[in-house]
Structure formats: C-alpha cells, structure tokens
C-alpha cells in the first residue's frame, strides 16, 4: 500500500481524525480550525502541516491550493467534520444568521477547488434522521453534483478497538466513480454495543456488525488505562509521569509507541460532597447507589430508571461510556473503576484511542473538550486504510 498519500483536514479540532489518517499512511498538508487552543494542539502534534486558525469562510480555497503547490485533482483526500444540521434545503427555518446553514457549503467549496480523489466526512449518528433524512440526501446529492460517488455508514468505534460506546456517521466519496461495496471498513472486534438511532437510509442498512468469523474481543477499560499511574482526587503530580507497570496488552503497547511518558494525567478536583458520593458507588453502579440524603436535590425525585449513567463508575472488564467534552460525574459514567476520582484527560484520551505521544495543550477544560470532540483515531485509521485501498486500486 502507498504511504505518501496527502490530505487536508477542515474543521480539524485537535486532530483525532488526522491522527488516525496519519496512522493509516496519509500525510497532513493543511488544517483549518477556528478555536485557537484546538489549533495549537493540532500544530504541536502534526509537525509539517500548515495550520490556519480562522473562520473557514475567510479562506480562499484556491489560494490555499496554490499555497500548497497542488494542481486541481492532485490531492488525495479532503477530510473533515463540517456541521451539517442547517444544510438541508428543506429545513423548516432558514436564516442567513444561522451559521450552520453555511458551514457544510464551505467544505464543498474546498472540494470544488481541490477536486481531491476522495472525500471523507464524519458526523453524529443523528445526521441520518435529521429532517427525516433530507439533510443527508442533500449532502450526497451535492457530492454527486461535484462528480463523486458517495455513500454513508454508521460505524461503532468499539468494533475497531476503541474502548467506548461511541458511534459516528461516516460518508466516503470517490471522484469519478461509484463507491465500491468494500469502501467501509469491516468490523474486527466483537463488542456489546447496540444502536439507539435510525439504522437505515433509503431502505438500506447503515450498521454492519461483526460476523461469527470475527474472534477478537473488544478492548476493555482496564486494558485501556490500567497501566497509568494511580492518583488521588485533585492530585496533579509531575507534568510527565512514569507508567505504573509494563504494558500488559496490545492496546497499551500501541498507545505507548513513541511516548516519553504520561502527559495530561492530572486528576480533576471535585467538590467534597462528590468525593463522599463516589465512595458509595460500586463498579457498574450509578447515582442510585448514593444514599438519598446525599443526592443532589434535583435528583432526589428522579426515577431510578432515569439518568442511568450519572455518577456512574465504569467496570474494569467493560466499555466506557461515550467520552464527552467533560468527564464530570454529574454528566455520565466517568468515575474510575477503583480510584475515587473522575477520569483524567489522559485516561479520556486513551479511551478515545489517542496515543500517548499526542499531547493536549490549553486549560484542563479545553483539553477535555478537545478529547471529547474528536474522532477516535483508531476508528479514523480503519476508515483511512479502506480509502487507501480504494485509491491504490484506482492507480
């Protein structure tokens, strides 16, 4: 397979999608990200890539292509996660002041200017059902109008080695041809995940599950973070820490490649009442383990079947909940399986499958947001390898 494929990343965030594509053999030439802290993290971890921190609407796509020294049609891939919610021509309320109505069109503007061999778009699973599918239909039609055969799938990250219950909508387009059935990666791990969203589009199934021939088991939380040093709640320690032990599984060995130690591993400081609440929560448990008089007032009247992830403590041998932009126990199951504290940025990054050499900058809140907003690199790598196979066959 080729290892010199080139891509640009739009709406790049901290670079989870780019990290996975890089692991698949692609090389990042350019990235655009509007949030300065995210862009600085991207630049730090993608040396050699030109990172522009600005609103994409201020960029001239043809000037960017000229700056990169590329002829139209030469670029291998444009990747990105443009907001698509306001794109549908059938949206009930359309306003020039709604920025969402324009951002996907900005992505298309770059596709038209570069005419890459392939395009990759990622989004939330809800994109499929948004506006009864009209938005997704508009996206596929827009790509077709630009000469791309495209299709969509919803991929479960745990099926590709990511130790959490996360799903992403993936759109792949190839210039000048129909998309082959093999364009999307085949699941390689069994995992206890079930979709809770629309799983068909135009009568076709969007979710592929592992076959009986798939023997590999999902990556557990313990395998994901069990080699990281223990911390007490609120403990910071050294900026770079030593690992607690030698790697004891393939996931840890892969995460530690090229790493100089454990970065971004500081335990968030929690309120005293939350520390007290955590001591009652068993692995796999949640807020219902907390004594009634210690519950937040707003949850004392909640049904025990509601908010099942709040104040959740993960189990060692299970999957983590979807990592969000905060690992706040009040938001979800982000309590360590045996330590009375919430996840660190590094633990959240491991659960997202970021390698340890990937260092996050900015405030702690910004770091958590960068991790939570990212595409899991292992999922992106699987998609990148599939695209690479298609492009190699087209040569």
CB 160 within 8 A of CB 185: yes
In whole angstroms, give the CA distance from residue 182 to residue 352.
25
Q: Number of C-alpha atoms within 13 angstroms, CB side, residue 163? A: 26
In whole angstroms, give the CA distance from residue 93 to residue 380.
33
| pLDDT (mean) for 2-13 | 89
What the chain holds in terms of domains, given with CATH numbers, is 5-215+376-394 (3.40.50.150)
CA angle 125, 128, 129 (to 5 degrees): 105
Q: How confident is the model at residue 1 (pLDDT cuts 50, 70, 90)?
A: very low
Higher pLDDT, 309 or 63: 63
Active-site residue among 84, 132, 233, 245?
A: 84
Write the DSSP assignment of 25-90 as a string of letters.
Answer: TEEEEEEE-SSHHHHHHHHHHSTT-EEE-S-GGG--HHHHHHHTT--TT---EEEE----TT--TT
> Does residue 88 have a pLDDT over 70?
no
Q: How confident is the model at residue 211 (pLDDT cuts 50, 70, 90)?
A: confident
Q: Which residue's structure tokens are 């990054």?
A: 349
- Angle 377-394/16-23 helices, nearest 10 degrees? 50
pLDDT digits (tens, 9 = 90+) for 133-182: 888 898 999 999 999 999 999 999 999 999 999 999 999 999 998 998 88
| pLDDT (mean) for 52-77 | 97
Task: Tell me the H-state helices in 247-322.
Answer: 250-255, 272-278
pLDDT digits (tens, 9 = 90+) for 344-386: 999 999 999 999 999 999 999 999 999 999 999 999 999 999 9
pTM of the model: 0.94
In whole angstroms, give the CA distance from residue 23 to residue 162.
15
* SS3 call for 378: helix
- For residue 323, give the DSSP letter: P
Residues 6+ apart with CB under 8 A from 83: 11, 100, 103, 104
| Residue 84 among the catalytic residues | yes
């Amino acid at each position: 397979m080729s290892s010199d494929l080139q891509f640009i990343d739009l709406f790049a965030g901290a670079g989870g999608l780019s990290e996975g594509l890089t692991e698949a053999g692609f090389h990042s030439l350019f990235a655009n990200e509007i949030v300065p802290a995210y862009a600085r993290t991207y630049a730090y971890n993608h040396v050699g890539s030109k990172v522009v921190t600005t609103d994409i609407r201020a960029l001239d796509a043809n000037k960017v292509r000229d700056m990169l020294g590329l002829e139209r049609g030469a670029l291998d891939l444009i990747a990105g996660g443009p907001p698509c919610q306001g794109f549908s021509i059938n949206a009930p309320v359309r306003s020039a002041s709604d920025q969402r109505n324009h951002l996907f069109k900005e992505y298309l503007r770059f596709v038209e200017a570069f005419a890459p061999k392939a395009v990759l778009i990622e989004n939330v699973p809800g994109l499929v059902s948004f506006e009864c599918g009209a938005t997704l239909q508009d996206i596929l039609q827009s790509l077709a109008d630009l000469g791309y055969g495209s299709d969509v799938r919803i991929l479960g990250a745990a099926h590709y080695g990511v130790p959490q219950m996360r799903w992403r909508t993936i759109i792949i387009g190839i210039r000048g041809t129909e998309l082959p059935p093999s364009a999307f990666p085949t699941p390689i791990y069994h995992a206890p995940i079930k979709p809770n969203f629309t799983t068909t589009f135009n009568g076709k199934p969007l979710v592929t599950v592992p076959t009986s021939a798939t023997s590999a088991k999902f990556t557990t939380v313990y395998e994901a973070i069990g080699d990281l040093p223990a911390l007490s709640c609120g403990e910071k320690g050294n900026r770079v820490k030593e690992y607690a032990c030698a790697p004891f599984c393939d996931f840890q060995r892969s995460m530690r490649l090229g790493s100089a130690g454990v970065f971004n591993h500081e335990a968030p400081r929690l309120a005293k009442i939350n520390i007290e609440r955590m001591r009652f929560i068993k692995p796999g448990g949640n807020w219902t383990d907390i004594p009634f008089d210690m519950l937040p007032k707003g949850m004392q009247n909640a049904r025990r079947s509601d908010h099942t992830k709040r104040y959740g403590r993960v189990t060692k041998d299970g999957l983590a909940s979807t990592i969000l932009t905060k690992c706040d126990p009040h938001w979800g199951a982000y309590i360590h399986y045996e330590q009375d504290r919430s996840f660190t940025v590094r633990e959240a990054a491991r659960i997202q499958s970021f390698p340890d050499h990937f260092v996050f900058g900015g405030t702690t809140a910004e770091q958590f947001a960068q991790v939570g907003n990212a595409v899991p690199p292992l999922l992106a790598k699987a998609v990148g390898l599939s695209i690479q196979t298609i492009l190699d066959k087209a040569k």
